[in-house]
Chain A
Amino acid sequence: MADLSFVRTELVPQKTPPASEVGVIGWMRANLFSSIGNSILTLLTLYCIYLVLASILPWAISPTWGAASLTECRGILHELGREGHFSGACWGVIRDRWTQLLFGFYPSELYWRPILAFILLGVALAPVLFDGVTKKLLLLTAVYPFLCFWLIWGGSIWLPISIILGFVFAIVIYGIVSKATSTLLGAIVAIVTPIIWWLFLAAPFGNLMQSFIPLGIEAVQSDKIGGFMLAILIGLTGIFLSLPMGIVLALGRQSDLPILKGVCVAFIEFIRGVPLITLLFVASTLLNYFLPPGTSFDLVLRVMIMVTLFAAAYMAEVVRGGLAALPKGQYEAADSLGLDYWQAQRLIIMPQALKISIPGIVSTFIGLFKDTTLVGIVGLLDPLALSTNIRADMAWNGILWELYGFIALIFFIFCFAMSRYSMYLERKLATGH
């Protein structure tokens, strides 16, 4: 009887998966055409994308970079046989006016100053934003705000120096008084002294020093400052000042001291309850009423104050969210270690609360930067207001979409970069598993 049993001695070689399950086709089957409904959806979306691109691309691809006026653009397009209202974009306006969109009416021979300020901004921000940058640069970061304002507005160098002196006084006096008596008294004196200095002594001191040692660069009027430079200036001021203010307000709102708490709540709720534009109206029409008779603040400065207050209230709520999200055990642990309030805040609470609130903080920053476009309504030359200004020129009368597109693109780049950075920061600081 013949042995019919069969035992395979070697493994059958693995078969390659069917072509419909791997590679491009497999991916498309899984992600685009997994069911009839999905296939219809995919085709519909593709059609919508085609419609959008078909209406924008033929217009956007247009060899008009070199044109010096709208008529010239039309001429170039006419030679190509492209006629009609939406035959092609006129990109010449961007080449012709991009410096204006960036700097407003800033004197062109002084463009190096905002550019230098912008480069220094990168250097000053590096130690804050990224690891592995020497921490000695933090000194530049501390001085940078004054340096930036001096570079852009120009004038005597003694004015920013006398303002810095106020901060120096505060630190020195706090050190002396808090050692001699108590930290509380030190803090009070350290708050009051610089205020007195700035209100009454800083300006005479600056003038005096200027008359002895005249040091300065050409001053530039505020109405010359515009475009993205203005947006970035207002945005940066708001960002730098609103974070500390917001933290203080959030702590005030969380504190056990009823008077402080009441003031903070009232401030936050008032600011958050009214639109920014009304606050800008206050800046442009009312703020001078609140200041001593005869003082006339620069409109840019007034707007900056209001934008900062506005952002600070939102920041306070974001930080408060972070504080509330922290487990109660963290507060109790800090107390049981014998840390006092500020030590606990500085070493235990704030590092964690701020980490939790990073997404909120960054989206407040992004919102603040976008809101700088509103200053055009009270007469400052933000990029949108400048686009109206450019249209007033006969050469570019009737240009709309190119300018709007350019402005939108720049805003998009800034805001998108900020949101991506916040994601990077969240990942970097994540301590969970």
Chain B
Amino acid sequence: MTMSNTPNPAGQGFQMSQLLYDTRYRSMTIQIVALILILLAFGWLINNTVVNLANLGKEIQFKFLGEPAGYDINQRLLDYNSQDSHLRAGFIGLLNTLLLAFLGCVTATILGVFIGVMRLSKNWLVARVMTAYIEIFRNVPVLLWIIVIFSIMIEVMSPPSAFRKGDASMLFNESVAITNRGVYIPEPLFHNTLGNIPLFGESSLRFDVSLDLIAFLVVLFAGIYAAMRVKRRADKIQSETGERPTTWWQRLALIFVPAAILLTVLGFHLGYPELKGFNFKGGTYMRNSLIALWLALSLYTAAFIAENVRAGIQAVSKGQSEAAFALGISPGRTMNLVILPQALRIIIPPLISQYLNLTKNTSLAIAVGYMDMTGTLMGITLNQTGREMETLLMGMAVYLAISLIISGVMNWYNNSVKLVER
């Protein structure tokens, strides 16, 4: 583009033809023409929209968000009833989306790393089984997996009445019940609870923050921080004297003892689900739509993550591990100190895009009736109020924001582990 810099022949000023032939000005011409075309296209689209909306007697406004939603949301993290506003319904849906995305990302990572490593196993059979798993899950649409697992939940699991008759029994010492309506697990309860802080008053975004949870997290993270300090001190002593003090029990104690003391003081106990009448009561209830989505998205994304993990490990040259062995480093430490830090650098960028894919795929919840944001804001609210433009724009903006935040955070992390080049 910027190759020919021959000066104008003497005595000639600027000529119109230079806009076409001179590479110095041509890029400007291209941009201006492109800009005009783009603006024309946008103007045309906006004009059409305005005319169409006017013909229908609609105008773009967001008042409907304050009106009562009038529908129920069966799986939710916060309090909600059908008299709450559409905005509240959308917010509950958003939290459901985030819950599903979080659960899915955690499980998919664990499964994916496990399968990716097992695929490189020297055991022929295990490696083949893992390859088969990856190919089967990667080559079949995720929507099909969601529906199949949802159908399995409904058709194969026993109804609550079977538990009464004794045809089915609860798992893990009478604490988990897997029924065709969903899964009941024990819920954490506190005898001496610290209570909740209500945020945002009575507004649509009202949010109860559990002080028990906050206290637990604070103690836990303080313990982890202290354990890291101990480890750093051990590292320092090792680099100065060559002797490494044994610290693993100190570090474990620092993390777990304060947390355990706190839980005892708060009177932590589990509330178990119990069969009452026709259904289970108590415990935390996860609807089968949530379970199906969680499982399907995790299993599906794990296949992709496994391939990334395998590629990352294989990309670390064999000389690295051989060099580590030559230095006398044990296999475990070779993995931790030599292979993984280098493999992670290769694994993380595709891992980020898998997290993003999983988060976007949570929108398939609509196929099994899980009330995520697509189901509430862009589903029932859209149908009830007829405000396609506003709800879809809002929904897309939220998804866009989530995606940008995830990729922003992950890129920040990626930069911090990136190879520092000269």
Contact = CB atoms under 8 A, between A and B. Distances in A.
Contact of B125 (A45, A258, A292): A45
A404 B150 CA distance: 12
Contacts of A292: 48, 51
B129 A45 contact: yes
A282 B52 CA distance: 15
Contacts of A371: 141
B3 interface: yes
A289 B364 contact: no
Interface in B140-157: 140-144, 147-148, 151, 155
Contacts of B258: none
B123 A411 contact: no
Interface in B1-50: 1-3, 20-21, 26-27, 29-31, 33-35, 38, 45, 48-49
Interface in A27-46: 31-32, 34, 38, 41-42, 45-46
A289 B400 contact: no
Contacts of B1: 256, 341
Contact of A263 (B29, B38, B141): B38
B123 A31 contact: yes
Contacts of B136: 412
Interface stretch (A8-16, A116-124, A272-280, A421-429): A272-280
Nearest to B118: A41
B53 interface: yes
A269 B1 CA distance: 26
Contacts of B301: none
A259 interface: yes
Interface string A239-253: 000000000000000
A20 B3 CA distance: 70
B147 A411 contact: no
Contacts, number: 161
Given A272-B403, A366-B139, A377-B367, A290 B123 contact: no
B287 interface: no
B360 A411 contact: no
A193 to B, nearest CB: 13
Contact of A384 (B143, B399, B403): B143
B348 to A, nearest CB: 15
Interface stretch (A65-73, A126-134, A163-171, A181-189): A181-189
Contacts of B49: 289-290
Contact of A370 (B27, B34, B141): B141
A185 B143 CA distance: 47
Contacts of B33: 188
A275 B51 CA distance: 28
Contacts of A407: 144
A80 interface: no
A274 B399 contact: yes
A415 B139 contact: yes
A277 B364 contact: yes
A46 B55 contact: no
A282 B392 contact: yes
A340 B23 CA distance: 10
Contacts of A291: 48
Contacts of A281: 378, 382, 388, 392
A408 interface: yes
B289 interface: no
A278 B97 CA distance: 14
A374 B392 contact: no
Nearest to A187: B30
B239 to A, nearest CB: 34
A373 B31 contact: no
A274 B396 contact: yes
Contacts of B378: 278, 281
Contacts of A45: 123, 125-126, 129
Contact of B30 (A184, A269, A401): A184
Contact of B126 (A41, A182, A373, A404): A41
Interface residues of B, number: 61
A288 interface: yes
A386 B409 CA distance: 41
B27 A275 contact: no
Contact of B52 (A48, A49, A188, A289): A289
A26 B333 CA distance: 32
Contacts of A85: 155
A404 B49 CA distance: 41
Interface in A346-380: 366, 370-374, 376-377
A208 interface: no
Interface string B379-411: 000100000110010011001100110000000
Contacts of B34: 257, 259-260, 263
Interface in B335-386: 356, 360-364, 366-367, 374, 378, 382
B124 interface: yes
B125 A32 contact: yes
A169 to B, nearest CB: 18
Contacts of A46: 125
Contacts of B367: 377
Contact of B124 (A32, A273, A374): A32
Given A273-B403, A275-B399, A384 B142 contact: no
B22 to A, nearest CB: 10
B94 to A, nearest CB: 13
Contact of A377 (B55, B125, B356, B366): B366
A270 interface: yes
A184 B30 CA distance: 8
Interface of A: 31-32, 34, 38, 41-42, 45-46, 48-49, 85, 181-182, 184-185, 188, 256-260, 263, 269-270, 272-278, 281-282, 285-286, 288-293, 335, 338, 340-341, 366, 370-374, 376-377, 384, 400-401, 404, 407-408, 411-412, 415-416, 419
24 contacts: A31-B123, A184-B30, A256-B1, A256-B27, A257-B31, A263-B34, A273-B399, A273-B403, A274-B400, A275-B361, A275-B363, A289-B49, A289-B53, A292-B51, A293-B51, A293-B52, A370-B140, A370-B142, A374-B143, A374-B364, A400-B155, A415-B140, A416-B135, A419-B138
Given A290-B48, A412-B139, A416-B139, 13 more contacts: A31-B122, A32-B123, A184-B20, A260-B30, A275-B362, A277-B374, A278-B363, A278-B395, A290-B49, A293-B55, A338-B3, A370-B140, A370-B141
Interface of B: 1-3, 20-21, 26-27, 29-31, 33-35, 38, 45, 48-49, 51-53, 55, 121-126, 129, 135-136, 138-144, 147-148, 151, 155, 356, 360-364, 366-367, 374, 378, 382, 388-389, 392, 395-396, 399-400, 403-404
Kindly list the 4 A-B residue pairs having the minimum CB-CB distance in the complex, ordered from nearest.
A415-B139, A31-B124, A275-B360, A273-B403
